[in-house]
Amino acid sequence: MGREETALTRSLLTILYKDKLTLNGLIKFCFPELKFHFTNTLLRQSSFAFEKDHGEYGRTDIEILNKSIHLIIEAKIGGGQIRIDQAKKYSNILNESLSKIKLFVFLSELNNYSAIKKLKSKYRNIKYSNISWANIFDELLKKRKSISINLRDEFRNALLGSHEMKISDIDIWAVVVRGKEELNLEKHGIYRNNKYHNPIMVAKREWDKDIKKVVINNLYPVLHVHDPRSDFAKKYNQNNGKDYVYQLGEKIILKNPIIKKFSQASAIAMTFK
């Protein structure tokens, strides 16, 4: 399901989406003074979103929304810090919400009470709470003997249904290759660079003569990033070269090219149907 933090957060959302008792347990634990619970009807009327894109406000980790309640959960693992400036942006999303009850949960191992105190004084119509991953397990999941989730259907719905696949940050690395490096990419499935990144895809920038713009026609899945000192990298790094070697999978040919004004940094954010 992705990187460690992403996988854990998405798994939690799937459980909340499928298990009403855990969802209501979360509300009760975080907001004991709130007399609210999800009924089956309200659950069917709710939207559950993972990394929902709000433009200038950023992407929320978990968002649950219906006419009665709007809940945002910002999650970090380990020593990850929830930044106050980002929390303010998410609070602005809630502030503009038409839902009656507006809730913001900080999910992390760190104590966020000072940040929550500042937010409470500014956003008086939003309720804030803090919960840890240990609380999620000990107070919510441990009490459930079993939670039945059909992951096959969840994957099918996410990939083929009305959802969108979002690729963002440096997950697509749009690169310029010429000469020998172009041959490495297309014939050997190799891309070399002296920088280490962790992209999902590498994409070659190409000049389209007809529309007179730089486009991407193909994507290459990244199978592995080899350290310059590894035996695999040394095959392609001659004369003691210090490049990381990106081992690529089979080329994916896009039906429609990606047309975008590419920055020098070459990391792009795209949304695909």
Summarize pLDDT for 85-111 with one digit per residue, the tens.
Answer: 999 999 999 999 999 999 999 999 888
pLDDT tier at 262, thresholds 50, 70, 90: low
**In the chain, where do the E strands start and end?**
47-53, 59-65, 69-75, 101-107, 127-131, 165-175, 190-193, 201-208, 213-226, 244-248, 252-259, 267-272
Quote the tokens at residue 216.
């991407």
Q: How confident is the model at residue 217 (pLDDT cuts 50, 70, 90)?
A: very high
- Residue that wins the pLDDT comparison between 263 and 169: 263
* Per-residue pLDDT at 130: 93
Contact 219, 252 (CB under 8 A): yes
Q: How far apart are CA 131 and CA 116, in angstroms?
A: 12
Is the Cβ–Cβ distance between 7 and 75 less than 8 Å?
no
pTM: 0.57
Q: What is the CA radius of gyration of the chain?
A: 22
| Mean pLDDT in residue range 221-243 | 85
CB 248 within 8 A of CB 191: yes
Residue type at 258 in one-letter notation: I
The amino acid at residue 216 is: I
Lowest mean pLDDT across 1-10, 74-83, 199-208, 254-263: 1-10
Smallest CA-to-CA distance from 10 within 134, 167, 127, 158 is with 158
pLDDT at 191: 93
pLDDT at 269: 57
pLDDT value of residue 267: 58
For the packed helices 20-30 and 4-18, what is the interaxial angle rounded to 10 degrees?
Answer: 110
Which positions ≥6 away from 108 have C-beta within 8 Å?
75, 76, 77, 80, 81, 82, 130, 132, 133
For the chain, which domains are there?
4-160 (3.40.91), 165-272 (2.30.130)
Using alpha carbons, select from 260, 256, 196 the residue that is nearest to residue 227. 196
Contact 25, 38 (CB under 8 A): no
Find the mean pLDDT for residues 180-206.
88
pLDDT surpassing 90 at residue 240: no
